[in-house]
A and B are shown apart, each in its own frame.
Chain A
Amino acid sequence: MTARRAPIMPWHLLLVLFFGVMAARTSLAAGTFELTEVAQGIYVHHGVNQDYTRANHGGIANVGFIVGDKCVAVIDPGGSLWEGNQLREAIGRTTKLPICYVIYSHIHPDHVLGGRAFVRDHPVFVAHARAGQAILNNQKYFAEHFLAPIGEKVKGDPIVVPTELVKDTLDLDLGNRILTLKAYPPAHTDTDLTVYDHKTQTLWVADLLFVNRVPALDGNLKGWLAVIKKLRKVKAARAIPGHGPVSVAWPSAMNAEQHYLEMLLHQTRELIAKGGTLEEALDKVCASQKGKWLLFDEYNKRNVTKAFTELEWE
């Protein structure tokens, strides 16, 4: 008996050790908001390729910050107050410099709803010139359709209203580090901004670029394709997409998205010219792209509806 028992003890110990380590690792992972320094002073947190759930707290977009000599600019404060707080704490662990800007790349819930976490730092909130109307339109809508389902209750308005608006371009100085913000006509949404960091030649292109996850069209299809053509001319060492890897090769990472959007345009246009209906378009347009994108079933038909109703007035 004792002979049998003896080897069992180390097994128990091993198990305890094993699960102990696993538990420690899990809690470490849950406690740490993972950041990748994609270029000197540019930190990005990877958003999961999912829709809002209680488990992901709306942390579904790539969000992060850029550190200058004087202060920090947050680029997209996250998809919920929870994520905003996580990001804010992560910034505090990275640098003691103050947060001087919170930039909204566009007015979508996964990019703006963390803004409330930063109000106590008194940064300047910066957004596209059209953001005011988009925010007013969406205050209630985002709270009801994105935050309530994940259990986040909001008193008052969930989106912090920006005070600095970008009509064309705007330079922000973080101390020896100039960021150039550029506003676009309707493309992915009608409030798209990009941020260019001159120091590292990094283009924070946000949701004008979807990688792996199917692009979501909320602005204007022809406008988006026109913006892509312009963006291609921007010289950058890398780009940070709103969805997908935290850093991608530029501009080649845009090929798949451009291909999808061009297919969406051409197939929808052709179908309308042949007298096709919206129902047919929903079945057929971009059907060959299924399997090539994450969340394809959730968004392709929405994109087709948007494209169809845009193009039938051509």
Chain B
Amino acid sequence: MKTDIFGRLSRLILALCVAGLSATAFAADQSPADVWATVLKDHYFKNTVLHTKNPPITLKTPYRAEDAAVVPISIHAKFPQTPDHYIKTLWLFVDKNPQPLAGVFHLTREMGRADLAMRIRIDQYTNVRAIAEMNNGDTYMVVNFVKAQGGCSAPAEGDLEAALKRRGKMKFRIIDQTKHDKLDLAQLLISHPNLTGMQLDQRTRSYIPANYVKKIVVKYNGKPIMSAETGISISADPSYRFFFKPDGKGGKVTADVVDSKGEVFKHTFDIKA
């Protein structure tokens, strides 16, 4: 039923050069390098108005990132998630990455607040954009420019064999209980090399096939908190920071992760009362 947004991307990328060329021909004032305006906007949000005034979120990115393979970015909601007013979906795009859509994040009222922090790869100087869809369908966009280079084409650092061996290991920790009343700020860390498919293997002299975390579902006592579909623009060993509302009685947080090879990793973490 659901179309695989990331599966379609490779074809989209192949079409990019052509699209860039035709865009030059049709709109002289539009830079062919503006992938967003020429391709991505229509591909993902053809019939959606993206408001840029009074957005419900702010996007924090470093102006210059020293390590392009691990760029910390965060999205902050300007209000709490309430039953009749909440952010439903967040999209994150890195315009000039080989796979511009970094992830789609489905948020819930159980989060309490729709903040989300993660680490991404940036391949060249680019706009990074976060798009938030409200529960009533209104959609907003915020854009930041980030100077960083080489985050995707950079070779996998260190020992790939060791990294593959520990893939699927996870850590979940409550890192702050003070920032917002009665909300826990949690971090989910997933060990996974998030291979881009652009890295070479010395022995076979061929490209190591892409293998990245594709789906994440986080639940608290059986209720979904946050789920996501993600791609290769997310750094190796994906890290996510988000809020959730503990009920005071403790319980369990579960994280179900599936990578692009279909391997499933499941972990349960005890939450103290």
Query: Min CB distance, B175 to chain A, in Å?
Result: 4
Taken residue by residue from 278 to 312, chain A's Cβ proximity to chain B (1 for < 8 Å, 0 otherwise) reads as 11001000000000000000111110011001001
Contact A279 B70 (CB under 8 A): no
Give the number of chain B interface residues (Cβ < 8 Å): 36
Contact A275 B173 (CB under 8 A): yes
Contact B158 A279 (CB under 8 A): no
Contact A136 B200 (CB under 8 A): yes
User: Taking the complex as formed, is B237 at the interface, i.e. its CB lies under 8 A from any CB of chain A?
Assistant: yes
Residues of B contacting A282 with CB < 8 Å? 62, 72
The prevalent SS among residues of A at the interface is helix
User: Taking the complex as formed, is A18 at the interface, i.e. its CB lies under 8 A from any CB of chain B?
Assistant: no
User: Taking the complex as formed, is B54 at the interface, i.e. its CB lies under 8 A from any CB of chain A?
Assistant: no
Contact A133 B158 (CB under 8 A): no
Contact B153 A277 (CB under 8 A): no
State in angstroms the CA–CA spacing of A133 and B155 once bound together: 10
Contact A186 B158 (CB under 8 A): yes
State in angstroms the CA–CA spacing of A138 and B155 once bound together: 7
User: Taking the complex as formed, is A11 at the interface, i.e. its CB lies under 8 A from any CB of chain B?
Assistant: no
Q: Which listed residue, A145, A302, A312, touches B67 by the CB 8 Å rule?
A: A302
Within 8 A of B (CB), among A128-187: 132-134, 136-138, 140-141, 144-145, 186
Contact A145 B150 (CB under 8 A): yes
Contact B157 A302 (CB under 8 A): no
Contact B159 A137 (CB under 8 A): no
User: Taking the complex as formed, is A190 at the interface, i.e. its CB lies under 8 A from any CB of chain B?
Assistant: yes
Contact A277 B241 (CB under 8 A): yes
Contact A277 B175 (CB under 8 A): yes
Residues of A contacting B39 with CB < 8 Å? none
The prevalent SS among residues of B at the interface is loop
Taken residue by residue from 196 to 221, chain B's Cβ proximity to chain A (1 for < 8 Å, 0 otherwise) reads as 00011110010000000000000000
Q: How large is the interface on A (under 10, 10 to 19, 20 to 34, 35 or more residues)?
A: 20 to 34
Residues of B contacting A219 with CB < 8 Å? 158
Contact B66 A298 (CB under 8 A): yes
Contact B153 A302 (CB under 8 A): no
User: Taking the complex as formed, is B74 at the interface, i.e. its CB lies under 8 A from any CB of chain A?
Assistant: yes
Given known A-B contacts A277-B72, A279-B74, A312 and B66 have beta carbons under 8 A apart:
no
Query: Min CB distance, A306 to chain B, in Å?
Result: 7
User: Taking the complex as formed, is A197 at the interface, i.e. its CB lies under 8 A from any CB of chain B?
Assistant: no
Residues of B contacting A144 with CB < 8 Å? 153
User: Taking the complex as formed, is A218 at the interface, i.e. its CB lies under 8 A from any CB of chain B?
Assistant: yes
State in angstroms the CA–CA spacing of A11 and B207 once bound together: 69
State in angstroms the CA–CA spacing of A186 and B160 once bound together: 13
Residues of A contacting B157 with CB < 8 Å? 218
Contact A137 B200 (CB under 8 A): yes
Q: Which listed residue, B149, B158, B169, touches A220 by the CB 8 Å rule?
A: B158
Contact B153 A140 (CB under 8 A): yes
List B residues at the A interface (Cβ < 8 Å).
60, 62, 66-67, 70, 72, 74, 117, 119, 149-150, 153-159, 166, 169, 171, 173-176, 187, 189, 191, 199-202, 205, 237, 239, 241
**What are 28 A-to-B residue pairs whose CB atoms are below 8 Å?**
A132-B202, A133-B202, A134-B155, A136-B200, A136-B201, A136-B202, A137-B200, A138-B155, A141-B155, A186-B159, A190-B158, A190-B159, A219-B158, A275-B175, A276-B175, A277-B187, A277-B241, A278-B239, A279-B60, A282-B72, A301-B66, A301-B67, A305-B66, A305-B70, A309-B70, A313-B171, A313-B189, A313-B237
